[in-house]
Amino acid sequence: MDSMYNENTQHAIELMDDDAVVWGIRSSPLTFAYENFLYDVVAHDCSQKNMNRQWYNNLAPDLKLFFMSAFTNKYHQFFTAPLTRYIFNYMLFFLMLVMYSAIVLTSVSTDYFNLPTAQVFEYYLYIWGAGDFIEELISCFGCLEARGRSHRGYYSRMKRYLYDFWNVVDLLSYILLIAALFVRHLYSDSSFTIARRMFALSVLVMYLRFLEVFLIHRKMGPTLIMIKEMLKDLLKFLFIAVFVIFGVGIYYHAILWPDHRSFWDGNWQNWRIWTIASLPYWQLYGDPNLDSLDGSEPTNCSSNYTIWAADTSVERCSQEDWTVSAVGAIYMLFSNLLLINLVIAMFSYTFERVQQNAEKLWRFERYTVINDYEWRIPSPINILCIPYRICFSNRDNCCLHIFKGCFCKKRLLAETMERKIRRAYRRNFQKVMALRNHNKI
């Protein structure tokens, strides 16, 4: 790759997009490198210049000159560039966030919902959500892509899609939004408490999702990558901590409230499993809960089984046992000095690892964004463009290609011949450089 780039930069850049069939898989070098996590190949200057050409749509790779081209005869290239789509997409996304926040704050259950302004906000939210969900389906399955992330089957595409952290956040935001809508319109509740909780959680995830806009930034992008990697470390820690928490919690409960049988009685909020997990969980953050561990009785507790079993608002009185305080002291020593410092050490290692490869990892994520916006249309504008995209896609069997074949045969034949000649030259150029590197010529 270095040899080709040094020998003929232009053809090496174009060669990164040439499709070839290898072992039954049709792919281009850049796509193959991305599929198999070849960070060095994707981060190479040759690959990055190929991405810049796509990102700026063959315009000058400079923001000032790029925006000035909107007022020249190259305005068509400007408005169809992936960078322009990216900017418009997040402008419309931010507008949706403002409207969604206004809905959650003011019009979940009040009469304000009936005002025209609130209805416009809510309808825009629904339309935007539908359009963005369509784009995510296209990204997942590659329905309308001319050149997608993967040229493999739908199952491989879906696995690759779900591997991306930001795609999982996208799916979570859709699930919460749909669940909130169902709860609001189908669940009869005069106070709309559950619906409000669902909407508030949904808008929280939407705000987290908006952070993806900074992924393309050279300085903030590596920071987001670092946070994502640290979240993976945190999940590993939680997997270990869950078993420790429940082990200690069961010991507490068995000694403080012996022979407790009604674990699942009453509302799910009053299940005893929460009491088992809550004490050791909050001790992770340094709260000893001494009043609960030393057997101190609350004012509304009762030792009579018939009373506390029949009324979930009445707490059962705990028994005093010195071993609980002893085990709690050992647990807090173990959790606060060992487990917490283990997480800090894992975060430190992740920080150093990401920091050392920050540029390489950022360039890899940058390719993901550029490849997405090569075909992505901002929501909700994309809803109007679906018929056009189906009919005028870049596939060989689309109606535009058939139209050209019927009425523009000479022009189509000349374009096809020119592409074949250039591709054949690049293939021969690739073979020559490979033989030269192996001292064959």
pLDDT tens for residues 184-205? 877 766 677 888 888 899 999 9
DSSP 38-50: -HHHHTSHHHHHH
Beta carbons within 8 Å of 158's beta carbon, 6+ residues apart? 140, 141
With a cut of 80, say whether residue 332 has pLDDT above it.
yes
Residue 13 has a pLDDT of 79
Neighbour-count burial of 433, counting CB atoms closer than 10 A to its CB (0-12 exposed, 13-18 middle, 19+ buried): buried
Question: With contact defined as beta carbons under 8 Å apart, do 310 and 265 qualify?
Answer: no
Rg, the chain, Cα only: 29
| Mean pLDDT for the stretch of residues 386-408 | 55
More confidently predicted of 396 and 234: 234
More confidently predicted of 372 and 306: 372
Residue 438 has a pLDDT of 59
Residue 74 has a pLDDT of 86
Residue 148 has a pLDDT of 41
Q: What gap in Å lies between CA 275 and CA 262, rounded to an integer?
A: 12
Type of residue numbered 426? R
Q: What percent of the chain has pLDDT over 70?
A: 76
More confidently predicted of 261 and 148: 261
Residue 202 has a pLDDT of 92
Cα–chain center distance at 15: 30
Beta carbons within 8 Å of 351's beta carbon, 6+ residues apart? 226, 230
CA distances from 245 to 51, 95, 199, 289, 339 (A): 48, 43, 31, 14, 12
Residue 85 has a pLDDT of 92
Q: What gap in Å lies between CA 133 and CA 199, rounded to an integer?
A: 18
Residue 401 has a pLDDT of 47
Q: What gap in Å lies between CA 27 and CA 20, rounded to an integer?
A: 6
| Mean pLDDT for the stretch of residues 163-172 | 88
Beta carbons within 8 Å of 192's beta carbon, 6+ residues apart? 108, 109, 184
Residue 422 has a pLDDT of 64
Residue 338 has a pLDDT of 86
The tokens for 148 are 């997608």
Residue 407 pLDDT level (bands cut at 50, 70, 90): very low
Residue 164 has a pLDDT of 83
**How does the average pLDDT of the chain come out, rounded?**
79
Q: What is the per-residue pLDDT across 11-41, written as a single tens digit (0 to 9) for each?
A: 777 777 777 666 666 677 888 788 888 888 8
Type of residue numbered 41? V
Residue 181 has a pLDDT of 86
- Lowest average pLDDT, out of 45-54, 392-401, 432-441, goes to 392-401
- Phi, psi angle pair for 255, to nearest 5°: -90, -40
Q: What gap in Å lies between CA 436 and CA 441, rounded to an integer?
A: 5
The tokens for 36 are 């198999």
Residue 317 has a pLDDT of 74
The size of the chain, in residues, is 441
